[in-house]
Amino acid sequence: MDLFAAMKAFVAVADAGQFSLASERLGLSRAMASKQVMDLEAHLGLRLLNRTTRRVSLTDEGAGYLERCRDILSAIDEAEQEFASRALEPSGRLRVTAPMSFGASHLAPQIALYAARNPRVSVELILNDRHVDLVEEGFDVAIRIGRLADSSLVAKKIGEMRLIACTAPSYLSARGRPQTPGDLADHECVLYSYASAGAVWNFTGPAGRESVRVGGRVVCNNGEAICNIAVAGLGVIAQPDFIVAGHLAMGALVRILPGYVMEPTGIYAIHTSRRYVPLKIRSFIDLLSAAFACPAV
């Protein structure tokens, strides 16, 4: 027995006062409407209706049960309307995590735009350079840059960035300018703790792809801090274009290895759901895809 359908049939019959009119309103045959009410009475072990050849009337138990049915059906209807509207308009809380530098410079303006366009969504942005566990820490979306580990998470590529090998003019004056990627093995390099490729830097040049394992005395987990260390003259860095662009424009850092470029790296939006992705997540990722479709530099 479909209890929900049987309750609807009972209420319709009680309101109409007869099975024929109630069955028309329900879009059922008279026999089906009658059967649903009889099944409900059998399920409850109570007679809900007094029946005559022309009309029906409520028993005392039926009158009490009718009010409870109205409350239940009304609550179900309200819930359906509320959550159906959520499928049409983003709503609820959206928790997003992203790397610090990218989050502050590029993601924050998009968060503001998304919040302005979606007044029923509240957004919490947490900036952290480590890879968080979306499920354990309760995030809806994570922005990640670089090679992705295999996982059950869903990844959507929203853009690209490129690492730029550069250093301060004072470092080049003291240590000389490297001519090929292989020369970097003999230079002081400032490394990024969370680099997906570790201490291996990959370049493409006249001879094709070249990889070099670099090393240095300083390792840091934040790109802005690494830039500042390089500006102070400590060593060579390979950092995203969106972090070093300002330092390059001012001359605080200079690009090295003309004729060589580092491989582009994907920027991804990560989420957990594969089916029935909430509209707040889908619409947010769509906005980021449009915003970051081209490399930053």
Given this model, what pLDDT does residue 88 score? 75
Instruction: State the 10-residue block means of pLDDT for the chain, 297 residues long.
Output: 91 90 89 93 94 87 92 84 71 93 93 96 93 87 82 87 95 96 96 83 92 94 94 96 94 95 90 81 94 62
The pLDDT score that the predictor gives to residue 86 is 62
What are the chain's domains? Answer: 3-87 (1.10.10.10), 92-160+265-291 (3.40.190.10), 161-263 (3.40.190.290)
**Three-state SS letters, the chain:** CCHHHHHHHHHHHHHHCCHHHHHHHHCCCHHHHHHHHHHHHHHHCCCCEEECCCCEEECHHHHHHHHHHHHHHHHHHHHHHHHHHHHHCCCEEEEEEECHHHHHHHHHHHHHHHHHHCCCEEEEEEECCCCCCHHHHCCCEEEEECCCCCCCCEEEEEEEEEEEEEECHHHHHHHCCCCCHHHHHHCCEEEECCCCCCCEEEEEECCEEEEEECCCCEEECCHHHHHHHHHCCCCEEEEEHHHHHHHHHHCCCEECCCCCEECEEEEEEEECCCCCCCHHHHHHHHHHHHHCCCCCC
Per-residue confidence (pLDDT) for residue 281, from 0 to 100: 93
